[in-house]
Structure 1
Amino acid sequence: MVGVLEGFATIAVIVAVGWLLAHYRVLDEGAQVTLSKLAFHVASPALLLTVMQRTPLDAVLSRNLLASLLAFVMVVGLYLLLARWRWPTATLGSRVIGGLSAGYVNAGNLGIPIALYVLGDVAWVAPTLLLQLLVITPVAMALFDNDARGERPSLGRSLRRMATNPITLGAVAGLLIAVLDVQLPRVIASPVELLGGMAVPSMLVAFGISLRRGPRPAAGRSAGHVWTVVGLKVLVMPAVALGIGLALGLRGQGLFAVVVTAALPTAQNVFTYAVRYRREVNLARDVIFISTFVSVPVIVAIAGLFHAVAGV
């Protein structure tokens, strides 16, 4: 369990730095937007390129990938049904942020250490990482771009948006490098790695600024919306992943990996997307903040259950 706590503690410290910088007025809301733009247009594409070119493809093309996809689709579908009933006036972009907040897990800076220390192998989180980077993110970016331009989603426009979005380009470039087994020269690889190293700190510092300068998390009329999404993310998604994994024949460590990954909190990427497209920024911020804390006892409970029942 030390690995779980270390992963969460690392995030908390960097977020606290952002909070303190905003509290002492070293950085303000303008810096938050600038950091988010830096992460979206430069650092995140570089990080995705670096991660994807190192991802072992033979480890991700498995039933775990299918289980992760089905769990995401079911949870997002449930959110959209609830949103149509509870928040019928929400825009397309707002619903995309809500859906991502409910199903897009922190498979990177939290998933990797948890996979290493709790599951015993980083490869266990690779299916979800690949799914989010190469399938979910490009589709979401296309929907955001269409919403920002007031256009109805269409296949042609969506494909064009995917082909020009920096997040998608970084992930696809990394995958192509891995598939073609290309070795980038150090004069290119080193700057890309340095730029990618800014992605997570930039997102977390911007997040900390928003916690200090924005409204109190889950306050006012938005509280019901926030807690609904948190419940879907931290409680419903692991349960759905467990059912899907069992139905697909997963057992033991494979099933354990699927359920733990589904229980991870909402990724900071969602906040970056919300700021970039100016859709449900406070919702994304609050769900990430609350789900990060709530997921700790949930993951610990899942680990204890699997250890007692399956000996994992």
Structure 2
Amino acid sequence: MQTVLGALAPVLLLIATGWGLATYRILPRESWSGIDTLSYWILFPAVLFTNVAGADFSSLDLGSYAIALYGALALLCILLVPLGRLLKSVLNVDSPSFSSIFQGTTRWNAFIAMAIASNLMGQTGLALTAITMALLIPIMNVLSITMMTVYASSSRLSLGALLWGIIRNPFIVSISAGLLLNISGLALPPVLADYTSFLGRAALPLAILSVGAAIDLNSLRRPGPRLLVGLGMRLVISPAIALFVATVLGLAPETTLMLVMAFAVPTAASAYVLAKQMGGNAPLMAELLALQTVVSAVTVPLWLLLLI
């Protein structure tokens, strides 16, 4: 219990600090877009590159982990499609709203997951999060955009534009570069190694502060059925599926913990951007983001207690 609280307390305090900075306009909400841009394009790629380049993957069964990751995601999607039909017939949930529930259930906040994994497993946790991002980011982009196109958007995104967006994703680029350096056995010159390390140290605190700054508690006063469905699917059903798959495949404790965390943390803030751009229910997406982030302060520790 003490280990779980010790890993989560700094993350929750940073989220609360970000919320306070934005709510009391010490740093106004409109100022956070610059911080988000800096984290996305510079700071987070630096921490991903550094940790993947220096990670020792020899003791990890990454093949089984990839199978578990994609297996859990597939089971979740198989469950979501008939759920969409049920929600439409019972609760009159329209297609744009279901597309937001889909994103809110399948996407994950890698910043929060990395902070928790780092506190619990050190460099191994950072490296595992980076590998999880490399495996999930491309498929999640394809899945989310496909679902948005089918259920919400009146426009169609070309395959070329989709592939180009994935290829130029700074997380994919930095992870790929780190893997190439790791495989080559070469080392960065000390000056560059220190430079990327310094940049990376700022990534997690700023990213978690931004998560807190994005929370709007006013939207959570009357959570309706759609919100509660999105909440339960992401924070209860999703990690339960991940734990089931990990148990069936007999994953090691470290990879089991990372797998469950990837499916237990709240959804990614980028889901709101996509919902807004492609005709989804953006207000519902924003409410899901806020509610999941707040409630995950209770559910994530409970999942961790089952694993540690």
TM over 0.5: yes
* Residues 9-34 of structure 1: CA deviation (Å, up to 9, x unaligned): 00122122222222432111212222
Aligned residue for 1:119?
none
Aligned residue for 1:247?
248
The 3-state SS of whatever aligns with 2:269 is helix
* Aligned Cα root-mean-square deviation (Å): 3.5
Go from structure 1 to structure 2 and tell me whether the alpha carbon gap of 1:208 and 1:237 turns closer, same or farther (over 3 Å shift): closer
Q: Does 1:157 align with 2:161?
A: yes
Conserved 8 A contact 1:71-1:241: yes
Structure 1 residue 226 displacement after superposition: 3.5
Give 5+ residue unaligned stretches, structure 2: 88-92, 277-281
Q: Aligned partners of 1:39 and 1:103: how far apart in 2? A: 14
Q: Does 1:294 align with 2:299?
A: yes
One-letter code aligned to 2:5: L
* Residues 241-260 of structure 1: CA deviation (Å, up to 9, x unaligned): 34323433x17xx2685267
- 193, 196, 204: which is aligned to 1:192? 196
Greater CA deviation, 263-272 or 291-300? 263-272
Conserved 8 A contact 1:79-1:229: no
Q: Does 1:208 align with 2:212?
A: yes
Conserved 8 A contact 2:231-2:292: yes
Conserved 8 A contact 1:102-1:229: no
Q: Aligned partners of 1:276 and 1:185: how far apart in 2? A: 39
Aligned residue for 1:219?
221
Q: Aligned partners of 1:245 and 1:55: how far apart in 2? A: 22
Q: Does 1:100 align with 2:99?
A: no
Conserved 8 A contact 1:52-1:178: yes
* Residues 184-239 of structure 1: CA deviation (Å, up to 9, x unaligned): 1122222222222222212221222223xx2436433x543343233233332343
Q: Aligned partners of 1:165 and 1:102: how far apart in 2? A: 16
Aligned residue for 1:170?
174
- 184, 194, 212: which is aligned to 1:180? 184
Conserved 8 A contact 2:227-2:288: yes
Give 5+ residue unaligned stretches, structure 1: 117-121, 304-312
Q: Aligned partners of 1:36 and 1:105: how far apart in 2? A: 12
Aligned pairs for 1:1-312 within 5 A: 1-58=1-58, 59-83=60-84, 85-86=86-87, 87-90=93-96, 94=100, 97-101=103-107, 106-115=112-121, 123=124, 129-131=130-132, 133-141=133-141, 152-153=156-157, 155-211=159-215, 214-216=216-218, 218-220=220-222, 223-248=224-249, 250=250, 254=252, 258=256, 261-262=259-260, 266-267=264-265, 270-271=268-269, 274=272, 278=276, 280-303=285-308
Q: Aligned partners of 1:124 and 1:69: how far apart in 2? A: 19
Structure 1 residue 262 displacement after superposition: 0.9
Structure 1 residue 299 displacement after superposition: 2.5
One-letter code aligned to 2:236: L
Conserved 8 A contact 1:238-1:262: yes
Q: Aligned partners of 1:51 and 1:93: how far apart in 2? A: 34
Q: Aligned partners of 1:34 and 1:123: how far apart in 2? A: 30
Conserved 8 A contact 1:67-1:244: yes
Q: Aligned partners of 2:264 and 2:210: how far apart in 1? A: 16
Conserved 8 A contact 2:166-2:172: yes
Aligned residue for 2:90?
none
Go from structure 1 to structure 2 and tell me whether the alpha carbon gap of 1:44 and 1:91 turns closer, same or farther (over 3 Å shift): farther
Conserved 8 A contact 1:67-1:245: yes
One-letter code aligned to 1:186: P
* Normalised TM-score (structure 1): 0.76
* Residues 256-292 of structure 1: CA deviation (Å, up to 9, x unaligned): 8526741567557812564587553332232122123
Q: Aligned partners of 1:42 and 1:260: how far apart in 2? A: 24
What's the % identity of the aligned pairs? Answer: 20
Number of aligned residue pairs: 291
Structure 1 residue 166 displacement after superposition: 1.5
